[in-house]
Structure 1
Amino acid sequence: MLSLPSLLTARVQDAAGIDPEMRPATKPQFGHFQSNVALRLAKQEGRPPREVAQDLVDRIDVSDLCEPLEVAGPGFINFRIKADVLARVATELLADPNTGIDVTDRPDKIVIDYSAPNVAKPMHVGNLRSTIIGDCFNRVLTAQGNRVKPQNHIGDWGTQFGMLVEQILFEGADATQMTLDDSVALYRRAQAHFKSDEGFADAARHRVVALQSGDPQTREIWQALIEVSKRGFNETYERLGVRLTDDDLAGESTYNDDLPLVVADLVDRGIAVRDKGALCVFVEGFETPLIVQKSDGGYGYATTDLAAIRHRVSDLGANRIIYVVGSPQAYHFEQVFAVARMAGYLPDGVRAEHVGFGSVLGKDGHMLRTREGGTVTLQSLLDTAEEVADRPVAMAAVKYADLSNSLHKDYVFDVERMTATTGNTGPYLQYAHARASRILRNAEEQGIEWTPQVTVLDEPAEQTLALLLSRYGEIVAEVGENLQPHKLCGYLYDLATAMSVFYEQCPVLKSDGEVRSSRLALCAATKKVLASGLDLLGIVAPERM
């Protein structure tokens, strides 16, 4: 697939010796791209910028792509892509089954850790961003031909399960018949019982030991609680339209048997040392050590994360691991990655990345809370969106609001703004796709014949649209490399806006002959890219709205 900005950059850099820093032209009369490379070189060489610019123009070989280059103003170089080149790119997009996405011939094995709700609790607003962002990464990296393995690191282990199992036995309840709401209510009763009854608290602590040692009755009830939660998780995943299944579950319990092995390995090699009763790893550059075993012999999240990394590299064969976890955990992951490097669990050549994200805020700019001050459940949040719009539009609104902002920033959950079909929203992109679909549908209903080939691009609005289409592949590649989905959102918004301008300025069905056929092909190419891009965001591309 032809990436025009990338090709131009490479050609100009060959002639200039430095990055030309190609930028879209600010006005149509300046062409499609501009570069200030001559001004920067002139300062180094002590020569007039326009003289340097003319020398470069004489050496730059882009005659197969551009009209004759122009020197403008104090020494800018203007690039105008040939109309037939733009037409060829748009036609390739229409014909290419991969819609311009470069599929690697050397795929990575990528593990993405995301969603990670807790068992016996409803998913909450804190799980929303991890789930949506991780699903987007899964889609983008898979589309590029990589072998992606999602890992849903659910919270299915720990002291709370001793309390829950003991409460079930106390009440004589049947865990297999519970719903997720039942397990939430059970958790609250168990907490109150634990605090008010020391005998129950002791029994709950002993139940944790029974769980860890594999007691059949305890394990059976624990497994039933997990099954109840899985049903609730899967309902939410289906509602959101994310690619997570039971096959992707790899909770904390997965690594339970590996924890003592990891600690023993770190001790044997002198990486972990005893400090104030705990086993710690001291890492240069970190103020505090990483505790891999507590003084009471217990293990924490750090040990589990080290065991998970070791498993994902040695057993799953990952050469890239992505953790989609809130920004407050940045220090934790920096430290865990550093220790994993020390221990050889993360060999050279294996990338480990923590993608942090901000919080979801209410309209008042504060953390989203219930009226009682509690945590907002994810289901209630989605209900709020679906009260304003039907499900596909509501989910588009929620996902786009999340992904269109820089991930590390907080964003405001404003349903009215998010579901608008105007402005920079998910429904606006859906509307743009539906409009392109309607044009093509009307052409079919009117018996208009056209060929899937863009041939005429005389109008600026046509050229702008075709030029944007040519950038799709490079935008997807950038998201796959840098994990910044807002870049794809911004691109699709620009494409939808350019489609709207094209629709207003360039009559499609009312034009004639080759012009009409070419414009219909341009609509079809735009529709295809919008649909592909929306799918990478996890958003449905509707035929009608």
Structure 2
Amino acid sequence: MITVRELLAERLKSALDAAGFSDITPEVTPTADARFGDYQANAAMILAKQRRMNPRQVAAEIIQHLAVDDISAAPEIAGAGFINFRLLPQFLADRAQEIVKDDRLGVSDSRQPRRIVVDFSSPNVAKPMHVGHIRSTIIGDTLVRIARFLGHEVIADNHIGDWGTQFGKVIYGWKHFLNREELAANPIGTLVGLYRKVNAAEENDEALKKTVREELVKLQQGDAENFAIWQETVKLSWAEFEKIYGLLDIHFDAVLGESAYNDALAPLCERLEKDGIAEVSEGALCIFFRDIPELAEKPAIVRKADGGFLYATTDLATIEYRVKHWNPDAIWYVVGAPQALHFQQIFLAAQRMGVSAELKHIAFGSILGEDRKIMRTRAGESVGLDDVLNEAIERATAVVAEKNPDLPAEDRAAIARTIGLGAVKYTELSQHRMTDYVFSWEKMLSFQGNTAPYLQNAYVRIRSIFRKLEAPFDPASATISVNEDAERALAIKLGQFAEILPLVLEDFRPNLLANYLYELAITFHGFYEACPVLKSEEPVRSSRLALCDLTARILRHGLGLMGIQCPERM
């Protein structure tokens, strides 16, 4: 279904062509202030600047050729030359009627569907997932959900850190200090304990350091005992990760860690050197970017002087694998902002290797504690992600018990889980991804303001309307009318769901969807206060019920695209 923005842009383009301004592709956007209309275009201002003309005069010429009388009242010229559109009530009613009957809520598949690999979450084996994993995991999952809904083929790949120097310490600790009962009771905690114990012991013991390094070399060379320990470590770690992913309802199509590419690293380096992409410098194999000023002194090292490989090597091998096996149009990396230089280097190197897929680093900021520093425990350690999620559910349980003490325990637990997990996800997704934000329990679990509980409660309030009906209601059978200002505002906002989703992927900003849903809930509450629903006479009653139902469906689906469920009662 074509959106209102697209429809107005098409009509505007035809008018521009007819007026002799065919060298511009117009953009139409919602107005910031409803007093000046519903949508606006700044094409006249752009053209006037290019041609040194009066923008209001250009706008007047465009309007002479603009045929929108079936969509809008007569377009108006505002300010320095904006062309403003005020949608007709009947157009809005017909539009809402179409969306009510559409399973996709007015959202069309992308006109250019792509195959996209999304690399996100990526925890490290033998270490717990911590609060820092919230951003990559939740942003990545939301982008996957939205891209799939828009018709793209998506491969969600969890590139776990399952290979590296830490395994020498873990393996040595496993052989000398492992307590099997502790491992069974707390796998990740035990593995972390082994690592820390060996790490502390080798600080002043050069002989032990050498032995630990030898354990790592034996693993890298395929020693059967060390490989078996490594396999069990990976298996135990993934089992713990899966518990968290299960709680968050997050799924992956592939889980290919660093180890999957280990055998490809040496041949890759040989080819890079042979093809002149990399060169030896001070014993290390490096890829230089001398033609780029800011990178001229910052080469990507793919093989150290001692023959060891680095993240850059593994990431280039990973790109080669993905291109060969999945032939993607794009590969998106949802990884923190501190890795910006690394990905800039890797993407440039991949282009020199002949990779044509679009490579994007979807960066994000940090989660802060109330002291506005990186969120940590009192002991200075990263806060465990499982601790955060469990505390969210516990706090939500207390809130639900206070608001509805008569709920059966089973229902209370289910609702609290939905609210608690939704609160954590929405707090993340409602931020601009590059913003550092303070993690506040009080704010995220509030039923007021731009929070998940507020939106979930809005959905529940709407569904409660339908529980009061004496007979089932079929929204598709209603004839929608838009006469009151509040009805008009709601109909406009409902139609914008289809406009927002593609914008999310343009700059990878899930906060656009979150903000839209919040505005929709506010607009609905204004409608509900101004326009009686159940007490209205027919056919207005059915029309308003249909608008209520459509609002609930969009709230539910929009939150669902963010991995957030809606309870039927709260």
* TM-score interval, smaller chain: over 0.9
Distance (whole Å) between structure 2 residues aligned to residue 209 and residue 29 of structure 1: 71
Once the 2 structures are TM-superposed, how far is the Cα of residue 184 of structure 1 from its aligned partner? 2.0
Match of 2:337 among 302, 317, 327: 327
Alignment of 1:409-448 (within 5 A): 409-443=435-469, 445=470
Once the 2 structures are TM-superposed, how far is the Cα of residue 31 of structure 1 from its aligned partner? 3.3
- Aligned match of 1:393: 419
Instruction: Work out the number of aligned pairs and report it.
Output: 539
Once the 2 structures are TM-superposed, how far is the Cα of residue 510 of structure 1 from its aligned partner? 0.9
Contact map agreement 1:154 1:252 (CA 8 A) in 2: yes
Distance (whole Å) between structure 1 residues aligned to residue 476 and residue 504 of structure 2: 33
Alignment of 1:322-401 (within 5 A): 322-344=332-354, 346-347=355-356, 350-389=357-396, 390-401=416-427
Once the 2 structures are TM-superposed, how far is the Cα of residue 39 of structure 1 from its aligned partner? 5.6
Q: What is the identity, as a one-letter code, of the residue corresponding to 1:158?
A: G
Q: What is the identity, as a one-letter code, of the residue corresponding to 2:371?
A: D
- Aligned match of 2:298: 288
Match of 2:489 among 461, 464, 472: 464
**SS state at 1:150 partner:** strand
1:237 aligns with 2:263: no
Alignment of 1:273-312 (within 5 A): 273-283=279-289, 284-285=291-292, 286=295, 287-312=297-322
Percent identity between matched residues is: 43
**SS state at 1:353 partner:** strand
Once the 2 structures are TM-superposed, how far is the Cα of residue 464 of structure 1 from its aligned partner? 1.2
Summarize the Cα distance change of 1:357–1:224 in structure 2 as closer, same or farther, 3 Å threshold.
same
Distance (whole Å) between structure 1 residues aligned to residue 464 and residue 319 of structure 2: 49
Summarize the Cα distance change of 1:194–1:385 in structure 2 as closer, same or farther, 3 Å threshold.
same
Summarize the Cα distance change of 1:51–1:123 in structure 2 as closer, same or farther, 3 Å threshold.
closer
Once the 2 structures are TM-superposed, how far is the Cα of residue 534 of structure 1 from its aligned partner? 0.6
Contact map agreement 2:333 2:360 (CA 8 A) in 1: yes
Summarize the Cα distance change of 1:73–1:115 in structure 2 as closer, same or farther, 3 Å threshold.
closer
Q: What is the identity, as a one-letter code, of the residue corresponding to 1:221?
A: I
**SS state at 1:370 partner:** coil
Distance (whole Å) between structure 1 residues aligned to residue 281 and residue 47 of structure 2: 58
Summarize the Cα distance change of 1:214–1:452 in structure 2 as closer, same or farther, 3 Å threshold.
farther
1:265 aligns with 2:262: no
Once the 2 structures are TM-superposed, how far is the Cα of residue 129 of structure 1 from its aligned partner? 0.6
Summarize the Cα distance change of 1:44–1:520 in structure 2 as closer, same or farther, 3 Å threshold.
same
- 1:322-355: CA deviations, max 9, x gaps? 00110000011000100111111x22xx110001
- Aligned match of 1:407: 433
Contact map agreement 2:100 2:475 (CA 8 A) in 1: no
Once the 2 structures are TM-superposed, how far is the Cα of residue 367 of structure 1 from its aligned partner? 1.4
Summarize the Cα distance change of 1:335–1:509 in structure 2 as closer, same or farther, 3 Å threshold.
same
**SS state at 1:513 partner:** coil
Distance (whole Å) between structure 2 residues aligned to residue 185 and residue 382 of structure 1: 23
Distance (whole Å) between structure 1 residues aligned to residue 284 and residue 53 of structure 2: 67
Distance (whole Å) between structure 2 residues aligned to residue 106 and residue 51 of structure 1: 37
Q: What is the identity, as a one-letter code, of the residue corresponding to 2:352?
A: M
Match of 1:125 among 131, 139, 146: 131
- Aligned match of 1:206: 214
1:481 aligns with 2:489: no
Once the 2 structures are TM-superposed, how far is the Cα of residue 381 of structure 1 from its aligned partner? 2.3
1:58 aligns with 2:64: yes
Contact map agreement 1:115 1:134 (CA 8 A) in 2: yes
- Aligned match of 1:185: 193
Q: Gaps (5+ residues) in structure 1?
A: none
Distance (whole Å) between structure 2 residues aligned to residue 39 and residue 113 of structure 1: 41
Distance (whole Å) between structure 2 residues aligned to residue 329 and residue 42 of structure 1: 42
Distance (whole Å) between structure 1 residues aligned to residue 145 and residue 284 of structure 2: 42
**SS state at 1:352 partner:** strand
Summarize the Cα distance change of 1:395–1:210 in structure 2 as closer, same or farther, 3 Å threshold.
same
- 1:220-248: CA deviations, max 9, x gaps? 1111111111111111112222224xx52
Q: What is the identity, as a one-letter code, of the residue corresponding to 1:187?
A: Y
Q: What is the identity, as a one-letter code, of the residue corresponding to 1:205?
A: R
Q: What is the identity, as a one-letter code, of the residue corresponding to 1:382?
A: L
Distance (whole Å) between structure 2 residues aligned to residue 330 and residue 171 of structure 1: 39
Contact map agreement 2:517 2:555 (CA 8 A) in 1: yes
Once the 2 structures are TM-superposed, how far is the Cα of residue 112 of structure 1 from its aligned partner? 0.7
Stretch deviating more after TM superposition (100-109 or 415-424): 100-109
Summarize the Cα distance change of 1:74–1:230 in structure 2 as closer, same or farther, 3 Å threshold.
closer
Stretch deviating more after TM superposition (206-215 or 514-523): 206-215
CA RMSD, Structure 1 to Structure 2 (Å): 2.3
- Aligned match of 2:2: 2
Match of 1:136 among 130, 137, 142: 142
- Aligned match of 2:412: none
Summarize the Cα distance change of 1:160–1:41 in structure 2 as closer, same or farther, 3 Å threshold.
closer
Contact map agreement 1:279 1:293 (CA 8 A) in 2: yes
Distance (whole Å) between structure 2 residues aligned to residue 89 and residue 516 of structure 1: 18
Alignment of 1:210-225 (within 5 A): 210-225=218-233
Once the 2 structures are TM-superposed, how far is the Cα of residue 401 of structure 1 from its aligned partner? 1.4
Once the 2 structures are TM-superposed, how far is the Cα of residue 487 of structure 1 from its aligned partner? 1.1
Summarize the Cα distance change of 1:361–1:103 in structure 2 as closer, same or farther, 3 Å threshold.
same
Summarize the Cα distance change of 1:26–1:270 in structure 2 as closer, same or farther, 3 Å threshold.
closer
Q: What is the identity, as a one-letter code, of the residue corresponding to 1:200?
A: L
Contact map agreement 1:123 1:379 (CA 8 A) in 2: yes
Q: What is the identity, as a one-letter code, of the residue corresponding to 2:360?
A: E
Q: Gaps (5+ residues) in structure 2?
A: 397-415
Distance (whole Å) between structure 2 residues aligned to residue 25 and residue 79 of structure 1: 9
Summarize the Cα distance change of 1:222–1:317 in structure 2 as closer, same or farther, 3 Å threshold.
same
Summarize the Cα distance change of 1:454–1:268 in structure 2 as closer, same or farther, 3 Å threshold.
farther
Contact map agreement 1:35 1:77 (CA 8 A) in 2: yes
Contact map agreement 2:44 2:59 (CA 8 A) in 1: yes
Summarize the Cα distance change of 1:166–1:128 in structure 2 as closer, same or farther, 3 Å threshold.
same
Once the 2 structures are TM-superposed, how far is the Cα of residue 255 of structure 1 from its aligned partner? 0.6
Distance (whole Å) between structure 1 residues aligned to residue 113 and residue 33 of structure 2: 40
Summarize the Cα distance change of 1:309–1:439 in structure 2 as closer, same or farther, 3 Å threshold.
same
- 1:98-118: CA deviations, max 9, x gaps? 222222365322111111111
Summarize the Cα distance change of 1:182–1:302 in structure 2 as closer, same or farther, 3 Å threshold.
same
- Aligned match of 1:91: 97
Match of 2:523 among 474, 498, 519: 498
Distance (whole Å) between structure 2 residues aligned to residue 261 and residue 154 of structure 1: 22
